[in-house]
Amino acid sequence: MLRIEKLIFDQADQLPEATAVEHNGKQLSYRELKQQALEISRGLRECGLDAGETVVVFQHRSLSTLPLVLGIWEAGGVVLPVDPNTPLKMLEWIIRDSRPRVIVTDGDLKPRMVEAAEKVNAASAPQILTSYPNSNGHSPRSALGKNIPATIDIDDVSEPPAYKDDCYVIYTSGSEGRPKGVRGGHKSLIQYLRWQAQEFAVTEIDRFSQTAPLSFDFSLKEFLMPLICGACVCIADRTTVIDAQKFVDWVHESRITVMCCVPTLLRSILQLAPSSSDASVFQSLRVLLISGDMLRWDDVSGWRERFGNSISLFNLYGPTESTVIKLFYPIPETRHGESINVPVGRPIEDAAVLIVDENNQPSAPGEIGEIIILSEWLARGYLNDERSADNRFHRLYYHGTQQRAYRTGDLGRWLSDGNVELMGRKDRQVKIRGYRIELDEIESILSEHEAISDVSVVLLNASNNIDVDGLATIACYFTTAQTALTEKEIRDFAKERLLPQVLSLTRFRCLDKLPLTANGKVDRIKLQSLIDPAENNGSQSSSNGSSTIRERIVAMWEELLALEGIDLEANFFELGGDSMTAIRLLRRLREELHAEVKLGDVYEYPSVSQLTNRVEQLLA
């Protein structure tokens, strides 16, 4: 059976001394990558891992990540990556739902994982292993606590009784407060990777950026695509990715030739001063792959005005359930006159698309309908959730043959030239800063708070549930019989249950009662008008009257976050700030206080008090 790790091991046999992975100035050759993967595979089998069993990877991205993933596959296991920022309650659910045999984590993350695992009453508790620290060069033998030989010949590693197609499980947002585990297979992923390698002419001289967390399917194309072609994966630290200037410098220094990027990161780059990011910083770059959110035409024109036309731009589209990507659009130098946003293009090889109306009839060109993806290379379904799989995955007759189909819930339309334009969401699922979020999931989680009587969540500053301008905010309205319930208490409750990226985008407001429509349903349209992002803009005169740095920073926060009475010790991101808001704050600080604050400073000094001290240091 053809498997991904075997394709990469073939590259190791052909190019043993070529660099496979780079991170923080350190490298792994293909020979070392294969050797470490085989050692990890041997150790996992000695731990009792059987074919088809799950291994949770709960660690920071590092040089050790890829040997671990390949080692799990070589042992016949299924990789389940979990973001290190995952809240405790969500960790508990993932462990309970996936029933992993082994969990591999970093030393600093182990206490959280142990706490989560202990709360799960499982028939057989998973083994929790601490992954080896990459910084001191330890062998993966220590990660598994086994006396594995220092060298292993490929013939010395016996295969498990029967390999299975299951390759990975990636948990996505669920509508009932419980994430859904999408099951990916080797065959489908290989089919996609081979198409991409051919379409983008990947060779062993290419150097790919790797920026996405392993828990995003976006990361699969970042680190597997180069490895099956003998190219190099360059892993960027999280602190690099969240600081546009650091990221641009890293791309230049790493000589990246193929860069994967979400639209929000692209916009952050365009907001940098031209003097710090001219065309020379991307002199090695030949291909820019954009996916994860709606892409605007002004994003494209801004990029080309700044960096020229020598870099090929592609807009990619595909939900996790589709196996990474199923549509792509080579972005032309001139705007497509018919489309509002940049199209997501046409289906890739061995895929097809239907757009249907509310009666499941094909939509006419230009009419908006639901996008259905047809392909034999979709995900295998949802882990332990046949009901959700039955609602989303179907078999349809298409051109005389029966094919697997996935109902995306995304709205789109055919353009006259046969390209597809994404138009929004059909249901209550939204896309913000690349994160797929179920508003019903947030409602379900918050309704568990004993003091909350009723709750409704809506999206602000979005078009058809898509964060087109990078300004979308989640507004949570609630009623309570407990008059003393504060926003801080709600945020503390939500911290254990919601990803911090989601919580940072959420604002809360207590109401006496939720507005209702004539038929007694919550009036979400009215709720969307209750919080006006600009409602506090006119109330800043009292703060702006003072010339102190602290009070001017408070005024900026109140305006950017649309809040009043900000606590001087409150965290900017817990109040609703995000990287895009932080960039706008930096611009204000530079323009009004002439302080050259960097994006990393906002993360390091996230309160008004701390940021004030930092600004004073810079101005001293």
Instruction: Show the tokens assigned to 21.
Output: 């992975």
- The answer to whether residue 545 scores a pLDDT higher than 50 is no
- pLDDT tens string 79-93: 999 988 888 888 999
> What integer is the mean pLDDT of 595-605?
84
> What integer is the mean pLDDT of 360-384?
92
- The answer to whether residue 150 scores a pLDDT higher than 90 is no
pTM: 0.73
Distances (CA, A) of 182 to 353, 393, 489: 21, 12, 33
- Per-residue pLDDT at 76: 93
- The answer to whether residue 292 scores a pLDDT higher than 50 is yes
Q: Give the N- to C-terminal CA distance of the chain in Å, as an integer.
A: 65
Task: Name the nearest CA neighbour of 403 among 347, 357, 346, 330.
Answer: 347
Rg over CA atoms, the chain: 25
- The answer to whether residue 527 scores a pLDDT higher than 60 is yes
- pLDDT tens string 178-200: 789 999 999 999 999 999 999 99
- Per-residue pLDDT at 458: 87
Higher pLDDT: 10 or 144? It is 10
- The answer to whether residue 409 scores a pLDDT higher than 60 is yes
Task: Find the DSSP H helices in 106-260.
Answer: 110-118, 141-144, 186-199, 218-228, 238-241, 244-253
3-state secondary structure of 354: strand
List, in order, residues 6 or more apart from 44 with CB less than 8 Å away: 55, 71, 72, 75, 77, 102, 144
- Per-residue pLDDT at 391: 84
Measured at the CA of 187, the angle between CA 182 and CA 189, to 5 degrees, comes to 60
Instruction: Show the tokens assigned to 517.
Output: 């429509």
- The answer to whether residue 162 scores a pLDDT higher than 90 is no
Higher pLDDT: 379 or 139? It is 379
Give the pLDDT band of residue 509 (cuts 50, 70, 90): confident
439: left (phi over 0), alpha (psi -120 to 50) or beta: alpha
Distance from C-alpha of 278 to C-alpha of 616, rounded to nearest angstrom: 30
- Per-residue pLDDT at 85: 82
Lowest average pLDDT, out of 9-13, 139-143, 378-382, 480-484, goes to 139-143
Mean pLDDT, rounded, of the chain: 83
Task: Name the nearest CA neighbour of 267 among 249, 247, 285.
Answer: 247
Give the pLDDT band of residue 393 (cuts 50, 70, 90): very high
Give the pLDDT band of residue 144 (cuts 50, 70, 90): very low
Distance from C-alpha of 618 to C-alpha of 147, rounded to nearest angstrom: 53
Place of tokens 């109040």: 575
- Per-residue pLDDT at 276: 75
- Per-residue pLDDT at 376: 92
Distance from C-alpha of 297 to C-alpha of 338, rounded to nearest angstrom: 12
Higher pLDDT: 230 or 163? It is 230
Task: Name the nearest CA neighbour of 69 among 190, 215, 245.
Answer: 215
Give the pLDDT band of residue 532 (cuts 50, 70, 90): low
Q: Which domains does the chain have, with CATH numbers?
A: 22-164 (3.40.50.980), 318-425 (2.30.38.10), 432-527 (3.30.300.30), 537-619 (1.10.1200.10)
What letter represents residue 90's amino acid? M
407 φ, ψ to 5°?
Answer: -85, 115
Distance from C-alpha of 452 to C-alpha of 176, rounded to nearest angstrom: 17
> What integer is the mean pLDDT of 539-564?
65
Instruction: Show the tokens assigned to 514.
Output: 């939720």
Give the pLDDT band of residue 263 (cuts 50, 70, 90): confident
What letter represents residue 518's amino acid? A
Residue 73 and residue 79 in contact, taking contact as beta carbons nearer than 8 Å:
yes
Distance from C-alpha of 363 to C-alpha of 377, rounded to nearest angstrom: 24
Which secondary-structure segment (H or E) carries 423?
strand 420-425
Cα dihedral 218/222/224/226 (nearest 10): 160
What letter represents residue 247's amino acid? F
- Per-residue pLDDT at 517: 65
Task: Name the nearest CA neighbour of 45 among 17, 84, 73, 23.
Answer: 73
- Per-residue pLDDT at 154: 32
